[in-house]
Structure 1
């Protein structure tokens, strides 16, 4: 099968969408499929306001038509609802092509957090976008149920995986110079991630933030006792997880949270709110509580092998196989 995936989120961005698409493409190619990911780096573009590292394509439709004509894909998947996703949706409508989409991000809540725009308006736009396809992939049961309630048709299951070889328990000296216990946050440093809810907690030891984003400078100034480490990748990221006693996940809007699996695979239990994402993923690998401080302290008592065992329930080969099995050919 020759699959084309169109995504407004792609390298060099660092986020769960990019990591999911990278790993799924790799798994499918290992099984003999041809996978092309079309991202914004191929087009003239501009930076998303407030996010200098996120580039968006400018008027990409003509170039996309040429790319599709050259690639002649058997199946086409639209991963995001940005300029590339919108242009691809329009081209598919022109040509009578069938396509699938995936719902990765709760943009309605993100936009509301940044602008005050009522979420209902954005939800209506998202529903119109996705219902033009023949199916919308969603990562968790909770998200699938919510989308169905909101009028999304043909919602398809598509879970996530974790690299159990890279992310595993081992030496725990990454934060050896800092007073313990170590409470860790990993991810983008932005308002929609609700990081202040973590940084304001009264916890013993040290809070560590691995990641970067538009809120970093302000938060670093406001919370001088917090250790901001910037982005870590690969083995350095695995070491960061291993060196922590608890991974605190303060987001209330993520649809999954790959960092939850990565932390647990390293034996580090998770503390989070009992919301979509953590509720579907964490299980016995951590503690969920509306009182995040209570969850963080209780998670110190979760055995590290128990956290690892929870992560082992997820795999990238299974994720890729589920995705491939539910793709559709372009022509009806």
Structure 2
């Protein structure tokens, strides 16, 4: 019996690979990954990159991660991390500003001898990595994790949006590939002049970890949730650009309308104290991981996520896999996931009236809630993490194969000859 399986490629077709998800005569891969966040903060970007590194190492692809770190990091990171000197970001000390490729970091990079450079953040470190790749004739893949332009209005900096897009064009046009998490986000980049080398890299999840079977009556009871209470949940870092103000307005309206429910917020961050004061009846669990996070999702009944700044709504996908119907802002991060009227509802961003109405419908209609929750679960099965990460390896192979000549897996490293051809 064959172990081969068909995996969707970025254009919607199928590519057949064996159990290792490696194409025959695959190019030799040694990946240098540059990140603005990897282990010092537990945000979506850091978790995604750790999953990628874990996947690559399980498939014997050597990886080195170059990123800022701190004395007491939030995550036990995957793979080998080369610390990059950094300073706290002004006004947001949980983030770090890297100081670029110092001589010692550059020495580590050269000793690793990468065949491919992947840059996850268009910051100073990313720019230096990009220039290093060009000077050494190493192909560079950029990833678009964070929709920076959409954040500006939360800091009253909307006038800077043209400047930000100008810089993003300058950065990503120098990359051979640009990995984008959704087709909706790909459309946005193309509209702003970032058109060449775009490839789809969706986000996947562990469909066993996020599953309705983790629903737990004792977990609900321990958090003061009655057996018949309908839980409206939100999961994310608690920063205002995640749509927290809109979430709070919806919960406040439901309370004024006497719609019986229980609000649950999973996560932590600088907005927590103000949010706790505003929503005194809401359960705040703080940051959860592992089984506790699985139980929190599966023990909820409706997932409300009004953020319009996401490039990919991974928390939305985790909620769907846990059997929750979702009510989300109709934005790039949710549009590829939520099937309107089937797995949940997409609402105009910041439209509190519509968001409240859709949540109320689900809270008050058990049959609709069950039907949509079941459909959400089925939809989420298309996003198995390892199958999704196989997309990235195929993109690597495509990019490395475009370099002429190509060194294949198993060939001695000193036989590699790289040229600057390949669309850079």
Taking structure 1 as the reference length, what is the TM-score of the superposition? Answer: 0.94
Provide the residue aligned with 1:142 in structure 2: 184
Q: Is 2:232–2:262's contact at 8 Å kept on the other side of the alignment?
A: yes
Which structure 2 segments of 5+ residues have no match? 1-28, 70-82, 255-259, 349-353, 401-417
Q: Which has the larger radius of gyration?
A: 2
In the alignment, structure 1 residue 296 sits paired with structure 2 residue 359: yes
Kindly report which structure 2 residues correspond to 1:50-61, keeping only aligned pairs within 5 A, or say none.
50-61=91-102
Taking structure 1 as reference, are residues 227 and 73 closer, same or farther at Cα in structure 2, changes over 3 Å only? Answer: same
Kindly report which structure 2 residues correspond to 1:282-321, keeping only aligned pairs within 5 A, or say none.
282-283=338-339, 284-290=342-348, 291-300=354-363, 301-303=368-370, 304-321=373-390
Taking the aligned partners of 2:285 and 2:92, their CA distance within structure 1 comes to 19
Range with bigger deviation, 127-136 or 38-47: 38-47
In the alignment, structure 1 residue 167 sits paired with structure 2 residue 210: yes
Which structure 1 segments of 5+ residues have no match? none
Shift of 1:235: 0.8
Kindly report which structure 2 residues correspond to 1:321-332, keeping only aligned pairs within 5 A, or say none.
321-327=390-396, 328-329=399-400, 331-332=419-420
Kindly report which structure 2 residues correspond to 1:221-232, keeping only aligned pairs within 5 A, or say none.
221-232=277-288
Deviations 1:241-279 (A, max 9, x none): 011111111101111111111111111121112221211
In the alignment, structure 1 residue 259 sits paired with structure 2 residue 315: yes
Taking the aligned partners of 1:54 and 1:225, their CA distance within structure 2 comes to 30
Provide the residue aligned with 2:200 in structure 1: 157
Provide the residue aligned with 1:34 in structure 2: 62
Taking the aligned partners of 2:86 and 2:60, their CA distance within structure 1 comes to 33
Shift of 1:318: 2.1
Shift of 1:297: 2.5
Provide the residue aligned with 2:39 in structure 1: 11
Deviations 1:297-327 (A, max 9, x none): 2344232322211110112222221111112
Range with bigger deviation, 237-246 or 196-205: 196-205
Equivalent of 2:240 in 191, 194, 210: 191
Shift of 1:226: 2.0
Shift of 1:58: 2.5
- Deviating beyond 6 angstroms after TM superposition, the runs of 4 or more aligned structure 1 residues are none
Q: Alpha carbon RMSD of aligned pairs, Å?
A: 1.8
Q: Is 2:116–2:138's contact at 8 Å kept on the other side of the alignment?
A: no
Taking the aligned partners of 1:274 and 1:292, their CA distance within structure 2 comes to 11
Taking structure 1 as reference, are residues 68 and 34 closer, same or farther at Cα in structure 2, changes over 3 Å only? Answer: same
Q: Is 2:115–2:139's contact at 8 Å kept on the other side of the alignment?
A: no
Higher relative contact order (CA 8 A, sep 6+): 1
Shift of 1:55: 2.4
Shift of 1:61: 4.0
Q: Is 1:138–1:158's contact at 8 Å kept on the other side of the alignment?
A: yes
Taking structure 2 as the reference length, what is the TM-score of the superposition? Answer: 0.74
Task: Report the number of matched residues.
Answer: 332
